[in-house]
Structure 1
Amino acid sequence: MGIDSLIVFLIVGAVAGWLAGLLVKGYGFGLIGNIVVGIIGALIAGWLFPMIGISIGTGVVSAIVNSTIGAVILLVLIRLVKQA
């Protein structure tokens, strides 16, 4: 992985984490937290979507959409665990 790929990876993670924080009210993690949430969301979406047969596409925009959906799933699960 080159430095340019790493930068895109971090930017996608930050944007996805930020969007997920907006969609799931009450969650704001700062830049580093958003990157971590976005990257974990991308891992969740990358694991879950092929299992259920969903393919959004390729490119940066679809990576952001996938990561955001995965990050929302992560934040909702965290909220459910905190409530229990």
Structure 2
Amino acid sequence: PKSMPGQRSSFGLIDWPYVEGLRLDEAMNPLAILAVGMYGRELPNQNGAPLRLVVPWKYGFKSVKSIVRISLVSEQPKTTWQSIAADEYGF
């Protein structure tokens, strides 16, 4: 919250933390990576430093920036977009 000014305003912004979920087979896909850099350099803040999930075959919102926690759970978690706009993507 301190590094995301305005995040707790009344303008209907997305709640923190942003929650996303991948099935284990998706997470184990060779194209799914945890990126720490790009173009041979350290990952900049605006691109999700220090660690970013990249899943290029999914919608862009699945490639989460600035990972806070990774949890392995037995059930698919309710994601941020399922909470705020479930009809938008056919969830």
Which structure's residues are more often helix, by fraction? 1
Output the TM-score relative to the length of structure 1.
0.23
Q: Which has the larger radius of gyration?
A: 2
More strand by share: 2
